[in-house]
Amino acid sequence: MVEFPKYPETGKLELLASPRKMITTDFTSREINHIGVGDAARFQDSDTEIIDLSLIQEGDYAFPLPGAKVISPYGGRRRHHSGYDIKTCPNDTIVAAFDGVVRLSKPYAAYGNVIVIRHYNGLETVYSHNSKNLVKPGDEVKAGMPIALTGHTGRATTAHLHFEVRFNGVHFNPNYVFSFSRRKLKRECLICRKKGNHISVKPVKALPLYLIDDKEQSK
């Protein structure tokens, strides 16, 4: 059964805290050495997980490169582009998008110097082509904390940040999570489904009725 976030009673809004999922932080050798790795804590009780971005509080998220402009979107002309390329200036400060634990921090093929952070909301974010990584595997980070400097290591012709968002090792459009024009978190639900070895992520404005448990409907 899919569990849904509980909304607070009126008058308790000041007590709101961003919901946290269980994540695996005792990383294996594979997890600290490869980017597209799943989290054993995902899909434990159901083939569907929901991430409600509207419940993430101000201060618990940050745009990864403040002031950046998009130079190449997800998919793009190459169609297989796995993230957003955003640019300000060389050696600008890259920050963590959400609270979490650094899973990987190393040079990695065409990514150059890359960092992967596993977040308490169930997502992972990837930051690559960095001139310098400022964190190492196992480090706890907070949203907005400096983690790297922009560069053009790996397969990059100009200094920029290649930013990815992944769920259980599978990348999806970061524009589902952030508005890259406004540099703000979107306020939607991400419906994450597993069917065999395939994982899909779909943003929705509101939770679809067929996902609501019968007991919830009868209340």
Mean pLDDT of 67-84: 86
pLDDT digits over 1-16, tens only?
555 555 445 444 445 7
- Domains in the chain with CATH codes: 18-218 (2.70.70.10)
CB under 8 Å to 131, separation ≥6 — which residues? 90, 91, 113, 148, 149, 150, 151, 152, 153, 159
C-alpha–C-alpha distance, residues 119 and 22, integer Å:
10
C-alpha–C-alpha distance, residues 36 and 116, integer Å:
10
pLDDT digits over 19-53, tens only?
999 999 999 999 999 999 999 999 999 999 999 99
First-to-last CA distance in the chain? 17
Mean pLDDT of 111-115: 98
pLDDT confidence tier of residue 219, bands split at 50, 70 and 90 = very low
Give the pLDDT confidence score for residue 80 in this predicted structure: 80
> What residue type is 89 in one-letter code?
C
The 3-state DSSP composition of the chain as helix, strand, coil percent (nearest 5) reads 10, 35, 55
In angstroms, how far apart are the furthest CA atoms of the chain? 58
pLDDT digits over 160-190, tens only?
999 999 999 999 999 999 999 999 999 999 9
**Prediction pTM value:** 0.87
C-alpha–C-alpha distance, residues 124 and 117, integer Å:
5
> What residue type is 93 in one-letter code?
T
The 3-state DSSP class for residue 4 equals coil
C-alpha–C-alpha distance, residues 219 and 217, integer Å:
6
